[in-house]
Amino acid sequence: MSTNGVREVEKTLDRISKLPDAVLIQILSLLPTKDAVASCVLSKRWRYLCNSIDNFHFDGCSYYNNVENFVFLVDHVLSHCTCSKIKKFQLILPYNSEWNFDLSISRWMNFAVERKVEDVVLCLCDDNFTFELPISICTCSSLITLDWSCCAIDKESVIQWKSLKSLKLNYVFIDNDDLAKILSGCPALETLELSLFEGFRRLEITSSNLKRLSLGSYWWFYGRADEPLEIIAPYLQHLEISGDLDYLKCKLVNVSSLVTATLTFNITCITEIEGFADEDGCSDYHQGFRNLVLDYLQKLSYATELTIGRWFAEFNDFRCQLELRYLDKGRHIILQSWISNTVFPNLKNVTFDACIYECRKKWFGGGNDKLFELSVFLLKNATALKKFVIVSKRRICRECSESCVSQYLSGLAKKLLDSPRSSKKLLIIYQESALD
């Protein structure tokens, strides 16, 4: 580096050092804690600033073979901490089968709870293993947000999170009793997010404060989901179900206050999961999902915004040839199922997240088009509809070497312009973007 370059760096550091301690501490709190500690060697004045930070981010994913160093880092930082209140405590544990973290986690969580921590993130780098949620955190009255992964709850634990507003659970096995215990212990809860979950089959939300529910992917590590997941949430306003559910059916028992619904999850044919072809079982399986879609349409009839994925419209797994033959044999029966008195008086915005990866020419050359049928159905029955948006990802199909999906969806949007509609102020929009 040239002499001029060194002087510029010195000037920059000098300007930063002139900032008040409170500002410097705030900056250090935004860094990963390991970097915040390392930065304190820049000058004598900075040496003790990291002792006052109130935002801790310990990421142990790079400590797989050096767990002792990670434990030493956390212990060292916390033993020198002088702040009286912790805003956020994020702990990502390195997995090592030979290391027992229970005592260390309890010690660190006790420290955070004693300093009235508000936001906690607790997870493992390896999602194939779980650990038990420390008892001290289960009754933390200062907790506002909690995000945990790969954790289990002791059956004897008491849950008292009277200030908790947001709860995120990822890679968790929770039975009906545990889930009910958690919800009853969170009277102020507003948002509940469950991702890669398993165990419970009844989600009953009786609190009028909980307005937002998100379910993302089913974790079928413990076996097949024969029973549907029943959702009873009369005060819920926003619902999102996404990810791969495999063959788990989410049944909306009571969502009478729902305003927005995002249903973009994927399903997989039972024959693909279980590895054998059973035509009767396959047809019954898909018929069950078709009935579920019709039930969704009725339960969501008073929503104002609806976002749905391609499974919702197509009713089938594109890769299932047994299902395609079933559709061809009984297509008129499926068409008749759309004849309904269901009306959507409040629906204003509909979005089709039409992320279709299969070749349209190969699988649907015969005109087996449920997406168009569903679109026409909604146009006829949504009396206040303002926007009908079809979203596509731009890609070249491996089967036909063309942009067959984009061509199909843009053509669908044009066809809908001439379709009958109940709303006079309706915009039909086709959006295309590159793959993520």
Answer whether 196's CB lies under 8 Å from 217's CB. yes
Instruction: Tell me what pLDDT residue 128 has.
Output: 66
Answer whether 236's CB lies under 8 Å from 209's CB. no
Q: Where are the domains of the chain?
A: 22-130, 259-436
On the CB side of 430, how many CA atoms lie within 13 Å of its CA?
15
Number of residues that make up the chain:
436
Strand partners, 197: 172, 218
In degrees rounded to 5, what are phi and psi of residue 301? Answer: -65, -20
Question: pTM score, two decimals?
Answer: 0.86
DSSP letter string over 270-338? HHHHHTS--HHHHHHHHHHHHHHHHHHHHHTTT-SEEEEEHHHHH-S-TT-HHHHHHHHHSHHHHHHTT
Q: How many CB atoms lie within 10 A of CB 384?
A: 14
Instruction: Tell me what pLDDT residue 430 has.
Output: 92
pLDDT tens by residue, the chain, 436 residues: 455 554 554 555 566 667 787 888 888 888 888 888 887 777 677 778 888 899 999 998 888 778 889 999 999 999 999 999 999 999 998 876 677 788 889 999 999 999 999 999 998 877 667 788 889 999 999 999 999 998 888 888 899 999 999 999 998 889 999 999 999 999 999 999 999 988 899 999 999 999 999 999 887 655 555 788 999 999 999 999 998 887 788 999 999 999 999 998 887 766 665 555 565 666 777 777 777 888 888 899 999 999 988 776 554 444 455 555 544 444 444 444 555 678 899 999 999 886 666 666 655 544 446 778 888 889 999 999 999 999 887 777 777 777 877 888 888 899 999 899 999 889 999 988 766 5
Residues 6+ apart with CB under 8 A from 436: 393
Instruction: Tell me what pLDDT residue 325 has.
Output: 54
Q: Give the span between the Cα atoms of 196 and 149, in whole angstroms.
A: 10
Instruction: Tell me what pLDDT residue 11 has.
Output: 53
- Two structure tokens written together for 258: 């729902």
Please give the biggest Cα pair distance in the chain.
Answer: 81
Of 151, 200, 193, the closest CA to residue 172 belongs to 151
